């Protein structure tokens, strides 16, 4: 069933203390998991309504997501949670005035420190999240969901790819005790460059649905596979993030993790193809992710002479 268009009456049902206010409501385009609306109230406050997509509980534990955001809020690099309404399928968060980054923004050297600042703050916060995002375990979990849907995609060598990921995971050898707080969905749209004013010019991170304890190198690999910048830019970003220390080692580990996010989002897209009502070409999106993963597996063989 399609979600009805959001109205002021619906908002005041969710937030009774807002009765009497008037609202300017604008649907935000581009969401492929949830329906998103920007709400400007007549008292000058701005919010984002996130209405959960159909069957997103397959991927996202909303209780954990809300808990994560509350734990991370004191760091000052995430939106504040205004109201969590799981029974209504809605979360209301602070709207951060600013603009989301685009892939080409990651080519701008004057932004590099600001882009990496919130990532480092989160990774080095020492905050423990209840969800553990083990990359290999997660891709296996999504593959099991596809099997349970009884859908077959013979054009993709999914099982063979999972066997290769098992070998790569063993080579990486990152124990869960070494995991740090991670975002796990660092696409450009989730970086918000604040407008002028308090905190102006700083970058915040939004959309914490997939956050959990994970390898820092996985989070960086996920970012690289989303922004798709040239190799020399990756190296420059890694040098800033790791403060110029052991860059060859960190580059190697990041390269090892690159196939994992692409296969995760590939499998995710095949599941969404079967359950989501959001109009989006999940198949083509997933196919691109799958092909990118295969290219990175081949690059690991060529560059590092790995037998995978």
User: 279 with 300, same domain?
Assistant: yes
Residue 1 belongs to a domain: no
Between 225 and 10, the more confident residue is 225
167 within some domain: yes
| pLDDT above 60 for 305 | yes
Asked whether residue 280 falls in the same domain as residue 161, the answer is yes
| pLDDT higher than 50, residue 1 | no
Residues 72 and 91 in one domain: yes
Residue 4: pLDDT band with limits 50, 70, 90: low
- Are 136 and 241 members of one domain? yes
Full residue range of the structural domain in which residue 32 is found: 8-95
Could you tell me the pLDDT band of residue 55, with boundaries at 50, 70 and 90? confident
Domain finish residue from 68, 95, 122: 95
What's the number of domains the chain is made of? 2
pLDDT for residue 140 is more than 50 = yes
Is 2 domain-assigned?
Answer: no
Domain assignment present for residue 24? The answer is yes
Return the CATH number at 35: 3.30.200.20
| pLDDT the model gives residue 204 | 97
What is the spatial distance between Cα 227 and Cα 103, in angstroms, rounded to a whole number? 5
Interatomic CA distance for residues 295 and 278, integer angstroms: 29
pLDDT at 44 over 50: yes
pLDDT of 151 higher than 70: yes
* Residue where a domain stops, chosen among 95, 112, 135: 95
Residues 82 and 196 in one domain: no
Residue 170 lies in a domain: yes
Instruction: Tell me: do 83 and 145 sit in the same domain.
Output: no
Lowest mean pLDDT among 24-33, 104-113, 151-160, 282-291: 24-33
Does residue 31 sit in the same domain as residue 139?
no
Residues with Cβ within 8 Å of 143's Cβ and at least 6 positions away in sequence, in order, are 158, 162, 267
- Evaluate whether 88 touches 50 at the Cβ level (below 8 Å): no
**Domain holding 194: CATH number?**
3.90.1200.10
Rounded mean pLDDT of 9-25? 91
What share of the chain in percent tops pLDDT 90?
84
Among the three residues 95, 118, 137, which one is the final residue of a domain in this structure? 95
Residues 192 and 236 in one domain: yes
Are both 90 and 146 inside the same structural domain?
no
Beta bridge partners of 192: 100, 204
**Does 299 lie in the same domain as 264?**
yes
Please report the pLDDT score of residue 200 as a whole number. Answer: 64
Q: Does the pLDDT at position 177 exceed 80?
A: yes
Look at residue 130 and give its three-state secondary structure. coil
- Token digits of residue 188: 């450009």
Q: Is residue 3 part of a domain?
A: no
Tell me: do 163 and 27 sit in the same domain. Answer: no
Same domain as 209, residue 263: yes
């Amino acid at each position: 069933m399609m979600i009805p268009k959001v109205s002021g009456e619906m908002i005041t049902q969710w937030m009774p203390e807002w009765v009497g206010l008037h609202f300017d409501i604008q649907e935000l385009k581009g969401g492929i998991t949830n329906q998103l609306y920007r709400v400007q109230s007549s008292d000058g406050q701005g919010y984002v309504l996130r209405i959960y997509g159909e069957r997103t509980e397959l991927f996202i534990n909303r209780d954990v997501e809300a808990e994560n955001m509350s734990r991370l809020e004191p760091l000052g690099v995430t939106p504040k949670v205004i109201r969590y309404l799981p029974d209504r399928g809605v979360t209301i968060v602070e709207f951060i005035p600013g603009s989301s980054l685009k892939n080409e923004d990651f080519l701008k050297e004057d932004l590099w420190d600001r882009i990496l600042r919130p990532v480092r703050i989160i990774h080095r916060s020492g905050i423990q999240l209840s969800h553990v995002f083990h990359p290999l375990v997660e891709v296996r979990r999504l593959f099991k969901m596809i099997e349970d849907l009884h859908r077959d995609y013979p054009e993709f060598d999914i099982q063979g790819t999972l066997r290769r990921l098992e070998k790569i995971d063993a080579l990486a050898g990152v124990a869960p005790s070494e995991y740090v707080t991670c975002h796990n969905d660092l696409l450009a749209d989730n970086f918000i460059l604040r407008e002028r004013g308090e905190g102006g010019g700083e970058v915040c991170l939004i959309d914490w649905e997939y956050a959990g304890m994970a390898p820092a190198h996985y989070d960086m690999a996920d970012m690289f596979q989303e922004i798709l910048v040239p190799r020399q830019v990756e190296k420059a970003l890694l040098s800033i993030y790791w403060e110029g220390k052991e860059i060859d080692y960190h580059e190697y580990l990041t390269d090892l993790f690159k196939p994992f996010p692409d296969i995760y989002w590939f499998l995710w897209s095949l599941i969404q193809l079967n359950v989501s009502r959001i109009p989006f070409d999940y198949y083509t999106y997933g196919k691109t992710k799958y092909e990118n993963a295969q290219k990175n597996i081949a690059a690991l063989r060529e560059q590092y002479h790995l037998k995978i």
